[in-house]
Each structure stands twice: as C-alpha cells, then as structure tokens.
C-alpha cells in the first residue's frame, strides 16, 4: 500500500513538473477602450475620456452613431458589453462609445447652483458646452461618426441628461436616463417639465427611462411625475418608454437600463412580423435605405428577421420579394453559406436559374473554406447539377404518389399536376416538390423538408425527413378531406 502511495505521488509530481514546462506566450490584451485627455478651454482643465470602437472598426469604411456616456468610469464596462452584444445579435447599429468620467460630479452634473448644497454646484451648462462644442467636434473630426447621437446619464448625470432633453433643441437624438436626481433644487426640473415638453422639438427624439424598484419610493415617484408630464404633452416629436426594474437598486439598475434602452432607441429598425402582410418590395427597400440614412451603414435587420420575412414571402408566392430580402441578408451577413443557398432557392422559384447557380457556387466556396462547420459543401454542387440536369419524373410515376399521408403529428396531401408534384398542408400555401430521383423530393421553401415515397404491401407511404429525423406517414385518404 505504501509503495502504491509513493508511486502515485511520483506520478503527480511528474505531471506537475511537465505542466510547468509548457510554453506560454503573452499576446496583445483584449481592450475595452482607449484613454485620452483633452484640454477644455470652457472648463479650464484637462478632461479624461475613453473611446470604445466597434469590433471590426479597423477593417470597416462605415460610419457609426455615437453613445456619449456620462459617469463614464463606472458605466463603460456594462455599456460596451451591451452595445457589442446587441449589435451582433439584436439588430442595433454598431456604436462608437465615448465615456466621460467626472472628477467633480456636483459641479459638472447640476444644472443650477444650490449654495446650501455645494458652492461648486451649477456647472452643468459649462460641462454640456464642453461635450457639444469641444469634445464632439474632436470625435467627429477623428472618427467616422454618423450624426446620430445618444446621451446616457445616471443619478446626478441623469439629472443633467433630463435637463438637456427638456431644452428641446438638443444636439442629441436619443436619451437613456437612469434614476435621475430630479429632487435637485427643490424639484425645479419637475415644475419645468409641466410646460417645457409642450414646446416644439426640432428633431424626432427617442427617450428611455429606467429605475430600480429598490431605489426608493421618492425617486420612483419623481421619475413617474417627469414621465407623466411628457405623456401629458402628447408631443409627437418624442417617443418614450419608462420601466421600473424589480430587485434592482440605484447602482445595479444601469446595466439593465442600458441594454433595454439601446433596444428601445433603435426599435424602429426591426421589420417585425406584424408588418409582413403589408410588404411591398419597393416599400421595403425604401424603408431599409431610410434607416441607413438615419443610423448609418450598420443599421440592418437581424438575420432572423430577414430569413423569417423571406420565408414568409416564398410561402405567399412572392418570389421577387423573397429574392430582394434574401439578397440583402446575404450582403449584410456574408460568409455564411446557408444565406447564399436561401437566395439561390429564391432565384430558382423566381425562374432565374443563372443567378441561382452563382449563389449555389458562392455557398459551396464559403462552406468549403469554412473551419466553423457550415454543413456539407457538396450539397450546393448537387443543387447546381440538378439545375443543369434536372431530374424528370414521368406523370405515371407522379400519379402513383397522389393521396393523403397522415400521422398523429402531420398530414400532407400530395397531388401531381402538369408534370410537377405539389404538397398541401393545413395552414400552408401549396408548395412544389422538386425531384432528386424518382422517389426522392425536396422543398425549396421553408421549412425545407425532404419527401420520399416508398411502396409497401399496404401501398405507398411517405417518409418525411425533418432535419435528419425521419417520420413515416401511411396513406389515410379520409384525413385530407378538407384539403382536397
């Protein structure tokens, strides 16, 4: 037993010694932002600021909206994380983030002087002048900015952001205001809000208000009163949303508010499902261009939105519309073979086999070169082969597949018509089945199931291939009476 323990100890020591010899090289750090300093003539001091650039900034020729982040030192980490995640997966534009710390918050973030509170208070106008007339011109001159700007403020800096909003002719197009200190100067800003929000705003403005439920009843009620004044004004130039966050306090709420605020500010980008039935190709293309003009070149739908809309249009039989949508999707999200394949399928349905071949070829090249796994690249060459040498199935064979196939989960009615095989299902538009052989067929519209027909002693049965899982549907003629 003792020998066994000695042997185990020696083995562990040997493994540890080997591990210590592993070569490790330090690489360039992953940075959150770069730090800068600028001399402000208005403030008569040097001011530090941080700049966080979009992920692919160095390889891009695009222009980006700018998020100006007050209390920048304590909010930079969560703001960058939210902005990058949302730009990648939720369809907001990529942002340049300019975060500005405040060495003297009472001086810089209060719009009026309250001597009893602090003799240094009331420097808000000077600080906003610094941002708008000194810092912003520098940012615009040295970075590819888009004119769309967002101002974020929290607590005292939220008070300053609310004051800037109330002026109605701001340099900012949107505001994210978190738990603002509206109690300042005996609630003076709440009194102003009752009349100022009725004034005409120069540009359309988006505002998101958020506060934690643990922040105290008083601050919650103050924010509610401010929002109520905005709602009562019914100012068509301002759209806004207000949310109280359960279980969040004064310092924990900003992370959730920033995330939801960015989603709300850019919520007009998404072409949501409730709009699909009113789709027109020209109208959609004009809408896309309007958003690019408003927010910059990175204002695109999520891939899920484009694909969902394209699939919907194919099911409706609007193949020209589907081509337009899938083409935008392939351009917006390059390097993903299925996007080109979807566009190719839409071209086939629209009768444009030349462009379909080109897109299948692009899909093949992308999949072949990919190291991240994008499926079998050969499938795209097979699609080209089917276009060049289409499989012809005789009417006699197609007629044998006519009938109703049903199981507990699905019911399909199959009918041959004019040399093609059509499928019907409750709630679906009729779809064409394209042959791979005399027995195997596939859909070019979503959901893209595979259909095979097999003859048994009991007659033909349908084998439905749902993304690699096969389901057997026997013939049940009576199940399709409503589909005939």
> Which residue segments constitute the domains of the chain, with CATH numbers given?
34-265 (3.40.50.1820), 273-388 (1.25.40.10), 395-480 (2.40.128.50)
Q: Which long-range contacts (CB under 8 A, 24 or more apart) does 334-339 make?
A: 335/366, 335/370, 336/303, 336/366, 336/374, 337/362, 337/363, 337/364, 337/366, 337/367, 337/370, 337/374, 337/375, 337/377, 337/380, 338/363, 338/374, 338/375, 339/303, 339/307, 339/363
Q: What is the pLDDT of residues 351-361, one digit of tens each?
A: 999 999 999 99
What pLDDT does 7 receive? 52
Q: Phi/psi at 253 (nearest 5 deg)?
A: -65, -35
Q: 336 falls in which pLDDT band (50, 70, 90)?
A: very high
How confident is the model over 59-76, as a mean pLDDT? 94
* Cis amide linkage into residue 447, ω under 30° from 0: yes
- Whether the Cβ atoms of residue 96 and residue 67 lie closer than 8 Å to each other: yes
- Whether the Cβ atoms of residue 85 and residue 263 lie closer than 8 Å to each other: no
Residue 347 confidence (pLDDT) above 90: yes
| Range from 21-30, 121-130, 282-291 carrying the lowest mean pLDDT | 21-30
What pLDDT does 19 receive? 54
Q: 259 falls in which pLDDT band (50, 70, 90)?
A: very high
What pLDDT does 320 receive? 97
User: Tokens for 45?
Assistant: 């001091």
Q: Decide: pTM greater than 0.85.
A: yes
What pLDDT does 18 receive? 55
How confident is the model over 101-118, as a mean pLDDT? 95
Q: By percentage, how much of the chain surpasses pLDDT 70?
A: 94
What pLDDT does 482 receive? 62
Q: 374 falls in which pLDDT band (50, 70, 90)?
A: confident
Q: 412 falls in which pLDDT band (50, 70, 90)?
A: very high
Mean pLDDT, the chain, whole residue set: 92
Q: Is 459 helix (H, G, I), strand (E, B) or coil?
A: strand
Residue 344 confidence (pLDDT) above 70: yes
What pLDDT does 6 receive? 53
Q: What is the pLDDT of residues 420-463, one digit of tens each?
A: 999 999 888 899 999 999 999 999 999 999 999 999 888 889 99
Q: Phi/psi at 77 (nearest 5 deg)?
A: -65, -50
Q: 14 falls in which pLDDT band (50, 70, 90)?
A: low
- Whether the Cβ atoms of residue 245 and residue 154 lie closer than 8 Å to each other: no
Q: 11 falls in which pLDDT band (50, 70, 90)?
A: low
Which has more confidence, 307 or 9? 307
Which residues sit opposite 50 in a β-bridge?
35, 99
Strands of 174-178's sheet, edge to edge? 34-40, 45-52, 96-100, 64-70, 145-154, 174-178, 205-212, 238-245
Which has more confidence, 59 or 5? 59
Q: 170 falls in which pLDDT band (50, 70, 90)?
A: confident
Q: Is 145 helix (H, G, I), strand (E, B) or coil?
A: strand
How confident is the model over 238-247, as a mean pLDDT? 96
What pLDDT does 477 receive? 76
| Range from 193-202, 249-258, 307-316, 451-460 carrying the lowest mean pLDDT | 193-202
Q: Phi/psi at 435 (nearest 5 deg)?
A: -80, 140
What pLDDT does 55 receive? 83
How confident is the model over 118-142, as a mean pLDDT? 97
Residue 45 is inside which H or E element, if any? Answer: strand 45-52
């Amino acid at each position: 037993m003792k020998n066994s323990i000695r042997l185990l100890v020696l083995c562990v020591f040997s493994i540890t010694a080997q591990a210590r010899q592993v070569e490790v090289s330090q690489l360039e750090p992953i940075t959150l932002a770069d730090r800068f300093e600028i001399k402000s003539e208005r403030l008569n001091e040097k001011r530090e600021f941080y700049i966080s650039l979009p992920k692919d900034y160095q390889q891009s020729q695009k222009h980006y909206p700018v998020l100006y982040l007050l209390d920048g030192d304590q909010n930079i980490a969560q703001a960058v994380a939210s902005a990058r995640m949302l730009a990648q997966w939720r369809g907001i534009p990529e942002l340049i983030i300019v975060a500005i710390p405040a060495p003297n918050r009472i001086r810089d973030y209060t719009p009026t002087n309250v001597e009893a509170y602090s003799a240094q208070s009331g420097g808000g106008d000077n600080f906003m002048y610094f941002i708008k007339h000194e810092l912003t011109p520098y940012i615009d001159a040295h970075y590819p900015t888009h004119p769309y700007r967002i101002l974020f403020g929290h607590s005292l800096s939220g008070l300053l952001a609310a004051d800037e909003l109330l002026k109605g002719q701001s340099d900012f197009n949107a505001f994210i205001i978190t738990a603002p200190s509206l109690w300042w100067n005996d609630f003076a800003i709440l009194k102003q809000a009752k009349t100022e929000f009725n004034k005409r705003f120069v540009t359309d403005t988006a505002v998101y208000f958020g506060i934690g439920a643990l922040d105290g009843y008083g601050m919650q009620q103050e924010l509610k009163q401010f929002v109520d004044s905005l709602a009562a004004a019914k100012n068509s130039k301002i759209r806004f949303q207000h949310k109280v966050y359960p279980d969040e306090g004064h310092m924990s709420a900003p992370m959730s508010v920033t995330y939801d605020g960015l989603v709300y500010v850019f919520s007009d980008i998404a072409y949501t499902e409730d709009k699909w039935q009113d789709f027109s190709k020209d109208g959609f293309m004009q809408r896309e261009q309007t958003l690019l003009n408003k927010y910059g070149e990175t204002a695109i739908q999520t891939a899920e939105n484009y694909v969902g809309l394209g699939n919907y249009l194919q099911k409706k039989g609007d193949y020209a519309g589907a081509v337009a949508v899938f083409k935008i999707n392939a351009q917006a999200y390059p390097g993903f073979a299925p996007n080109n394949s979807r566009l190719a399928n839409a071209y086939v349905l629209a009768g444009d086999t030349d462009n379909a071949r080109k897109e299948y070829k692009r899909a093949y090249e992308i999949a072949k070169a990919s190291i991240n796994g994008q499926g079998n690249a050969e499938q795209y060459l097979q699609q080209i082969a089917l276009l060049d040498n289409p499989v012809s199935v005789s009417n006699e064979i197609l007629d044998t597949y006519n009938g109703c196939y049903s199981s507990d989960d699905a019911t399909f009615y199959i009918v041959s018509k004019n040399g093609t095989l059509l499928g019907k299902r409750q709630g679906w538009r009729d779809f064409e089945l394209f042959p791979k052989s005399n027995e195997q067929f596939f859909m070019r519209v979503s959901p893209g199931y595979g259909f095979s027909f097999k003859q048994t002693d009991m007659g033909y049965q349908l084998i439905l291939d749902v993304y690699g899982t096969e389901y057997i549907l026997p013939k049940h003629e009576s199940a399709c009476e409503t589909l005939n």
